[in-house]
Chain A
Amino acid sequence: MSVADIYQELFEHSPQGMLLIDPQTGVPVDCNQAIVQELGYSREEFCRMRLAQHEILDNDSRIAAGIQQALQTGESRFQSLFRSKAGRSKEFWFTLQIIQAENRNLLLAYCQVASQKQQTMQALQQAWINAQQAHRRLSQELQTMDELQRSIMPAQAYVDQNICAWGIYQPSGLAGGDYFDYLPLPEEGLRCVIADVSGHGARAAFVMAMVRTVFHFQESRALPLSLLLKTLNRQLMQTVGSDGDFVTLLAVDILPGQASLEYVNAGHCPGFFRDESGRMELQATSPLLGVVEDDFQVQTIQLEGSWDLLLYTDGLYECRLQSGDIFGYESFRELCFWLLSQGALDLERLPHEVARAAPELVGFNDDLTSLYVRGALHAKDQEPS
């Protein structure tokens, strides 16, 4: 038996359908027994018809497209639904490869009936691809929102003769509703704010943008904190309150001329204040925003000498440990006061410090936002009483 005979035998008795196609006409030049048996034609009948004539078309011929692709790239893979001579439909997987024979291009086609399992697998694969594409698009949207959020928060530190303020926002990738800001007050001093909108995603990001807008109105800067928060609270109750959304917010007016710091804490985690005489927590003075009416009473701290203030969002201490517990507020508070006392607080490194203090930390699940203010009050800064 010659080599050519062996190849002919392989072609003829392959359990997989095989055929040679003339790419110009789309008509089979030759085919094996497997393909004609599947479709119920004699070999002569099958080789008289263009391959595309067997297709059950939903729109364009996949055979025609597959031939074009194979001619351009050397190979194509596709599936197509065929009708047998008896009128039954059968799904086929095709692989077309271009070969040279008798001084012309021919297409060698392998075809296999797709089983129900294969069809289900194919549908699952397609669904998986669609889901991945949708996920990619959604991730890109969230990434865009994260970038937008980052861009509307201060990128530079605030520095004047009395105060230095610096904040960072480290997004979780879920487009959260964290917000920090520092805005010079019209007369003198600095207004600092940190806030956290419940939940994640577009809704939280939208509410966060609302909060920022209120703080950035020129008119708002002249408003005392109690009135500003009352206005903001009312707006939030009207717009998002009925759905259970809320905002925790801690706003601080630093007034060097009055040697004081005024704050309102609307359900936000306590700020950490430290000066030469000791330390204190800026506890919540009102419920969180968007839930109930309140008067938002202002609290005052007298400033003397040098002092530090750290504001943050709960993502920094609600991080999960291997035990299933969380790092927790108390542990975080002690860590922060210790760092402040050592003059070693670095906002960029704060998550690392948490991880170092809790070796069994699993990870952070939320946005991480913090705002650090340092001040030093000199006798000449105080207005004469």
Chain B
Amino acid sequence: MQIQSENVGQVLVLRLLNSRLDSATAHDFKGKMVDFVLQGHLYLALDLSQVEFMDSSGLSALLSTIKTMQGRGRLVVFGVGRNVAQLFSLTRLDRGVIEIHPDQETALQALNPAD
């Protein structure tokens, strides 16, 4: 799982470069996300625009990261494609569990309210 990172203010923007977040990549993704949190990055904006497919293993890894951050920081996602949006919708995670923004700008605004 390749993840490109960029600091924007207090937010770490993470760009997933793989097209699939599934059972083959989920474990690696989860490990890297936990590393970012342990390094002290508590405001994460996850760019999913390259991810064309996510299965239940990928979703589980994402939920695990969100749970890891609960009470300590915040994770939002943006750039969600059609298949992934459908997964969030079918599982009803788009209704308050996963914070979804249309683009990086709005994601950063949500995490940097003072800007």
For A, the interface residue count at a CB cutoff of 8 angstroms equals: 31
Give the contacts of B20-46 with A (CB-CB under 8 A).
Answer: 23, 26, 30
Of the four ranges (under 10, 10 to 19, 20 to 34, 35 or more), the interface on chain B belongs to 20 to 34
Q: Is the CB of B63 within 8 A of A366?
A: no
Query: Is A244's CB under 8 angstroms from B60's CB?
Result: yes
B19's nearest neighbour on chain A, judged by CB, is A324
B57, A288: Cβ atoms closer than 8 Å? no
A268 to B61, CA, bound (A): 18
Interface residues of A in 240-271 (CB under 8 A from B): 241-246, 248, 267-270
- CB–CB A246/B60 < 8 A: yes
Chain B residues, CB < 8 A from A325: 52-53
Complexed CA–CA distance, A324 and B83 (Å): 12
Q: Given known contacts A244-B67, A324-B19, is B62 in contact with A288 (CB within 8 Å)?
A: no
| CA distance in complex: A142, B27 (Å) | 20
Residues of A within 8 A of B61 (CB): 244
Contact of A199 among B60, B62, B83 (CB under 8 A): B60
Interface status of A311 (Cβ within 8 A of chain B): no
Chain A residues with Cβ below 8 Å from B90 are 267-270, 284, 329
Q: Bits for A288-305, please: 1 = Cβ < 8 Å to B, else 0.
A: 100110000000000000
A74 within 8 A of B: no
CB closest chain-B residue, reference A294: B92
**Contact of B83 with A288 in the complex, beta carbons under 8 Å:** no
**A76 is an interface residue with CB less than 8 A from chain B:** no
What mask results when residues 55 to 75 of chain B are scored 1 for a CB within 8 Å of chain A, else 0?
A: 111011111110100000000
Asked if B93 lies at the interface with its beta carbon under 8 angstroms from chain A, I say: yes
Residue-by-residue, is B87-107 near A (CB-CB < 8 Å gives 1, otherwise 0)?
Answer: 001111101110000000000
Assess whether B109 is interfacial by the CB under 8 Å rule: no
A198 close to B60 (CB less than 8 A):
yes
Which of B30, B53, B57, B63 makes the CB contact (< 8 A) with A326? Answer: B53
**Chain A: which residue is nearest B93 at the CB level?**
A287
Q: Does A353 contact B (CB under 8 A)?
A: no
- Is A328 part of the binding interface, using a Cβ–Cβ cutoff of 8 Å? yes
A146 within 8 A of B: no
B44 → A minimal CB distance (Å):
15
Q: In this assembly, does B2 line the interface, its C-beta being within 8 Å of a C-beta of chain A?
A: no
Residues of A within 8 A of B50 (CB): none
Residues of B within 8 A of A284 (CB): 89-92
A310-344 near B? 1/0 per residue, CB < 8 Å = 00001000100000111011000000000000000
Partner of A318, one of B55, B60, B63, B93: B55
What CA separation (Å) do A244 and B97 show in the bound complex? Answer: 12
Contact across chains for B56 and A314 when beta carbons are under 8 A apart:
yes
Q: Are B67 and A288 in contact (CB under 8 A)?
A: no
| Known interface pairs A325-B52, A328-B83; A244-B23 also in contact (CB < 8 Å) | no
> A234 in the interface, Cβ–Cβ < 8 Å?
no
Residues A326 and B19 in contact in the complex (CB < 8 Å), given A198-B59, A314-B56:
no
- A370 in the interface, Cβ–Cβ < 8 Å? no
Complex interface: chain A residues within 8 A of B19 (CB): 324
Report if B112 contacts A (CB, 8 A). Answer: no
Is the pair A243, B91 in contact by a Cβ cutoff of 8 Å?
Answer: no
A199 close to B57 (CB less than 8 A): yes
A-B residue pairs, 3 tightest by C-beta: A244-B64, A267-B91, A198-B60
List 30 A-B residue pairs with CB atoms under 8 Å apart, sorted by A's residue number: A198-B56, A198-B57, A199-B26, A199-B57, A200-B23, A241-B67, A243-B67, A244-B60, A245-B60, A246-B56, A246-B60, A246-B63, A248-B91, A270-B90, A284-B89, A284-B90, A284-B92, A285-B92, A287-B93, A288-B92, A291-B97, A292-B96, A292-B97, A314-B55, A318-B53, A324-B19, A324-B52, A325-B52, A326-B83, A329-B90
Residues of A within 8 A of B (CB): 196, 198-200, 241-246, 248, 267-270, 284-288, 291-292, 314, 318, 324-326, 328-329, 365-366
